[in-house]
Amino acid sequence: MKIAITGGIGFVGRHLARRLAAVVLVARGADRRDAAVRAYPRVRFVASLTSDIVLYDGVCGLCNRLTAFVLPRDRRGRFRFAALQSPFARDLLARHGRDARDLDTLYVLVTDGPDGERLLRKSRAALHILSQLGGPWRLSALLAPWPTRLLDVAYDLVARNRYRIFGKYETCLVPSPEWRARFLEG
């Protein structure tokens, strides 16, 4: 759908036209997130307003298996994904004072509403992902009271050996067409 607007309407007019386009798409049966992404194609952060963003090592066999594990079990579509090697992840992590070159770390950006966001890392990120999947995976919440330092020791042991055990790809894997909309690129 295209809305033709002529004249110098400025930013506010363009914003209202895009909002109207999103409302029309939702009225026609489109998912609210999809409508927002279509109405604001240049705004790469639209998905983060309603989703948690998982940042993972795109060439790591274990990280790719984690992503493949989460996608079909995330029935609510809560998670979006971006490889640590992407410009999107680099910019997001820089905003939080982290370095995207640290490929041993799994991150989850949790949105706490319109104003707040927090960045979980390593074991806390993994536990958050599992606890949000529902079903038996909610039992991972039993580990929440454990000290982060202790949980991260186990995480670091796996992270140190992940390429040797699970393999390493030369490039980031391309998601299948059915999941492509869940991946943020930049």
> What type of residue is 36?
A
Contacts of 26 (CB under 8 A, 6+ apart): 32, 35
C-alpha Rg value of the chain to the nearest Å: 19
83 with 166, same domain: the answer is yes
Domain span including residue 2:
1-43
The model's pLDDT over 69-124, given as tens digits with 9 standing for 90+, comes to: 898 898 888 999 998 888 988 998 998 899 877 877 889 999 876 667 899 999 99
Q: What is the CATH number of the domain that holds 54?
A: 3.40.30
74 with 14, same domain: the answer is no
The model's pLDDT over 19-51, given as tens digits with 9 standing for 90+, comes to: 555 544 545 555 555 555 555 454 444 444 468
Work out how many domains the chain is built from and give that number.
Answer: 2
Contact call for residues 84 and 100 (beta carbons, < 8 A): yes
The pLDDT value recorded for residue 162 is 77
Give the pTM.
0.68
> What type of residue is 22?
A
The string of DSSP letters for 44-110 reads TTGGGGTSEEEEE-TTBHHHHHHHHHHHHH-TT--EEEEETTSHHHHHHHHHTT--TT-TT--EEEE
